[in-house]
Structures are given as C-alpha cells and as structure tokens.
Amino acid sequence: MKVELAGMNIDIELVKEIERQDLATPETISAAYARISRSQKDVTSLRLDALNEVEKARQSNSNIIYDMGHSSIAEHAVFNFDLIGISRLMSELIHRSRLASFTEKSQRYVTLKGDYHIPEEIKNNDKLCDEFNKMISKQNDLYQFLYQKAVEYLEQTGFEGKKRELEGKAKEDARYVLSLSTITQMGITVNGRSLEKMLQRLDKSTLIEAKMLRQEIEQQVKPIAPSLIKYTKADTFGAAVTDIPKIYDKQTIRAKLIDISIDPERKILIAHLMDESGYSFSQAKSIVTQMDEQQISESYRKIFKGLKGYHSLPRSFEMCDLSFDLSMSSSCFAQLKRHRMASIFKTNYHPGMAYSIPPLLQKLNVEKEITEVMEISANLYEKFETLKFGLGAYCMTNAHHLNVLMKCNLRELYHFVRLRSDNHSQWEIKQISDEIMEIVKGYLPNATTAMSGKDGYNQF
C-alpha cells in the first residue's frame, strides 16, 4: 500500500509566492486523475507528467470534460473564494449550489452596522434611491431599538445564560426587520464542475448584482483554470414558464406532509438487510415481508443501539422519501437552505405573503413600529417591481415569508432534525423542525424512534 498527499487547498497569498505561476493551477491534478483509467503509469507519475506539460494537460481536460462528457474530472479541482459585500438576497442564490461548502456571516451572532447593497438598477434614479435609503435607515434604526429593548427585557426577566447568549437572542430576533439588501460576507469551497454551474445560475438571474458577481469570479478563475471553467453563460434550457398568472398565498400552516414513500419502514429494512448480509433483494424482501410489527420494532431498536449525536444513519434510511409544504420567514429559510442534500423549491418574495414577528418582540409591544416598517417595504417593493421583475426582493425583510417545497429522504431528515430541534437552535426553525418530527413520527413510529435534537441522542 502507498498513500501520497497529492495536494491541498492553501491560501492564495502562498500561491503567489510560487516562482512558476504557470504551474499554479489545479488543472494538472484533474488531467492526471483523468488519465488513471487508461494508463499503466502510477498516479504520482501522471501528476508529474501533467506538471511538466501544463498546456497538454489543459487540452486533455477540455477533450475529456467537454467533448467526451466526463464532467466529474472537473471535480478534482477545488477553489476557495472570499465573497465580501454581497447582499443577503444574493447569498440565497449562491447557496443553491448543492456540492459546495459555505460559511456565512451570521446575523444571529454579529451585531450589524447598517451596511447595505444599493441595486445598480436604481442608481440613476434619484427618487427611488432616496426612498430606498430612507427605508433602510428606518429599518436599521428599528433594528438597533429592538436589540436594546430586547436586551433590557431579557435582563429584567432573569434570562438564564451568559451575557453573550443573551445578546445573541436579542440580535437573532431584532434582525427580522432588516432587509435582504443587508450586506453579508461568506467563504466558499467549490469544485470546478459546481463552480461552472454556479456561474451559469448567476448569469441567468435578472439582477445586475448577480451578473457582476459572475463576472468577478470568472475573471479570477478562468486565467488559472481555462480548461475547467468554460460554459459560464446561461442559455434557454430550463426557461421559466412566464405565461402563468402569479398568485401569492398567505399560508398559515407551517409544516404539512404532502407525500411519503409506500411502506417505508419495510423498504428501509430490506435495504439494510441487503447491505449487512449479502442477501439479494428478493431474499431480503421475503424475510422482511414475513416480519410482524414486534419484529420490525425490534429490528429498528438493534439498528439504533449505540447511536450518538455525531453518527450518520445508515444509507438504508434513504429508501424513504418525504415531501413537505412549508411556510417560513426569510430568516428561517436562511437556515433551511443550508440543507443542500434536500431538494428545496421556494416562491418569490412578495409583500402579500405573511411575515413573522418573533415571540420575544411581541412581548415588547412594538408591533406598531414593525408594522410601519413592513408597510414602507411593501410600498417600495411595488415601485421596484415596476422597474424590473425580481428587483423588489431587495426591499423585503428577514421577516417576510416564503412558501417552500422540500423533498428529502429520512436519512437527511434525521440530520435536519438533529440540528434544528436541538435546544440551542433558533426559535422559528426549531418550531418547524419540531412540527415535522411530530408529523413523521406518526407515520414512521419505528424508523423515527431515535429522531430528536442532538441533545436527546444520549439515550441510545
């Protein structure tokens, strides 16, 4: 056996110190690994060959990835990006990349200073710019007011926890009145294949901010890896259906199960038995079909024995698919969207939808101030939408609701509930997670025996 570290992501400042900048490209790794399947050379030699002939490696990548269609070769190249000064709205679009890793500035833990993105679309419109600036100022002033008022209330009512936790609770609820134009920053780790898809998605957006971001990323990465990042423009494939009238449903139900696999608990056991024993599908199905309810229950108890909060469930739990109709605030969606292994679809933002006022803020008797800000946001939304479809979203707040369709398997749902039903989770997504867990336990009493927030995993 021989194992060699072939590469790793390092800071760009260190890369700049490399004397041969023409060799500072992940394309050589992709080209070397692409040749493994058809070469008798060991992979270390293939890497050295690619380093000695970068242009040849690039041509090889282009042929294999784009002409032959082996796109996974581009996944061997990995990039890190600092995204600074993008809007919260834009971060939602970035997060749609499933096979990428993100860490974003949290409005729950960082006290915001009022920085915001002014859309390029309105910069030549003095009247709209003035109204937008006044709206943001109003929102930011209310944020600071609510934050201080919430801190005082929590201190007076005997909040149990450290000062940092108290302030965090106040921040996470005060932020509901901030707009989606609020500035954020994030770090991204993404492979070449996913990056190309991300750039296409940014280009497809009607927003100038998205197109500028696409251009900035492309300008930095294309000189380094021209053979991996090629098709970055959007095309007509998957175009939106534009001739359907848009209706906005002010939904009040937070979570509703709308679809589930047939006989899921037995399907999971069949797959688990095949994986563990080597039985064929027919053999495993015959065994599980003959099980009574007590035997099924006992089988799941054996599976869950020794389960800890850091464990992933067996892949057999992926045999059960579930779909949910959800309604939540943008603030809550910011956390849901991180569960990228789920299939998540959302409505556009619209002031006709509901909006959430956190329970803590309801206790402060500030609904009048919040309602006033929401009305200003709604009025400006209509003016922005008249200028360009989708532009009004910059005026919406973290409190405004989205209707969401989420499809996931039971294994992924366990991960979701483990994080979101934990006692340290944010209140709104915890409510939704708890509702989902209660619903699913009614349908899958055995397969969900171990489902809980991570603070409840010690019982196994």
Query: Looking at the domain assignment, is residue 7 inside a domain?
Result: no
Q: Which of 132, 146, 138 is nearest to 379 (CA)?
A: 132
Count Cβ neighbours within 10 Å for each residue of 380-408 and write b for 16 or more, e otherwise: bbebbbeeeebbbbbbbbbbbbbbbebeb
Q: Which of 326, 362, 365 is nearest to 347 (CA)?
A: 326
Query: Looking at the domain assignment, is residue 244 inside a domain?
Result: no
Query: Looking at the domain assignment, is residue 243 inside a domain?
Result: no
Q: Are residues 301 and 394 in the same domain?
A: no
What pLDDT is recorded for position 86? 93
CATH number for 144: 3.30.1360
Q: Are residues 398 and 408 in the same domain?
A: no
Q: Are residues 115 and 131 in the same domain?
A: yes
Q: Are residues 211 and 100 in the same domain?
A: yes
Query: Looking at the domain assignment, is residue 158 inside a domain?
Result: yes
pLDDT (tens place) for every residue of the chain, 460 residues total: 678 878 888 888 888 888 888 888 888 888 888 888 778 888 888 888 888 888 888 888 888 887 787 888 888 889 999 999 999 999 999 998 888 888 887 666 565 667 899 999 999 999 999 999 999 999 999 999 999 999 999 999 988 888 888 998 999 999 999 999 999 989 999 988 999 999 999 999 999 999 999 999 999 998 888 888 888 888 777 666 556 666 677 776 789 999 999 999 999 999 999 998 889 999 999 999 999 999 999 999 999 998 888 888 999 999 999 999 999 999 999 999 999 899 999 999 999 998 999 999 999 999 999 999 999 999 999 999 999 999 999 999 999 999 999 999 999 999 999 999 998 899 999 999 999 999 999 999 999 999 999 887 765 5
What pLDDT is recorded for position 239? 64
- Residue in 108, 201, 338, 340 annotated catalytic: 201
What pLDDT is recorded for position 39? 81
Q: Are residues 416 and 374 in the same domain?
A: no
Query: Looking at the domain assignment, is residue 4 inside a domain?
Result: no
Q: Are residues 322 and 334 in the same domain?
A: no
Active site residue 201: yes
Q: Are residues 151 and 219 in the same domain?
A: yes
What pLDDT is recorded for position 283? 96
Residue 195: which domain range? 81-237+328-403
CATH number for 434: 3.30.1360.170
Last residue of a domain, one of 403, 420, 445: 403
Q: Are residues 143 and 87 in the same domain?
A: yes
For residue 94, the cross-strand partners are none
Residue 18, CA distances (Å) to 6, 25, 26, 135, 317 in order: 17, 11, 14, 49, 47
Q: Are residues 396 and 412 in the same domain?
A: no
Last residue of a domain, one of 51, 76, 101: 76
What pLDDT is recorded for position 127? 95
**What does the DSSP 8-state code read for residue 223?**
T
Q: Are 228 and 61 in contact (CB under 8 A)?
A: yes
Q: What is the dihedral of CA 373, 375, 378, 383, to 10 degrees?
A: -100
Q: Are residues 339 and 409 in the same domain?
A: no
Q: Are 60 and 67 in contact (CB under 8 A)?
A: no
Q: What is the pTM of this model?
A: 0.88
Query: Looking at the domain assignment, is residue 57 inside a domain?
Result: yes
Q: Are residues 435 and 292 in the same domain?
A: yes
Last residue of a domain, one of 57, 76, 95: 76
User: How many structural domains compose the chain?
Assistant: 3
Q: Are residues 415 and 364 in the same domain?
A: no
Tell me the two tokens of residue 16: 């700049």
Task: Report the amino acid identity of residue 278.
Answer: G
Query: Looking at the domain assignment, is residue 425 inside a domain?
Result: yes
Q: Are 454 and 309 in contact (CB under 8 A)?
A: yes
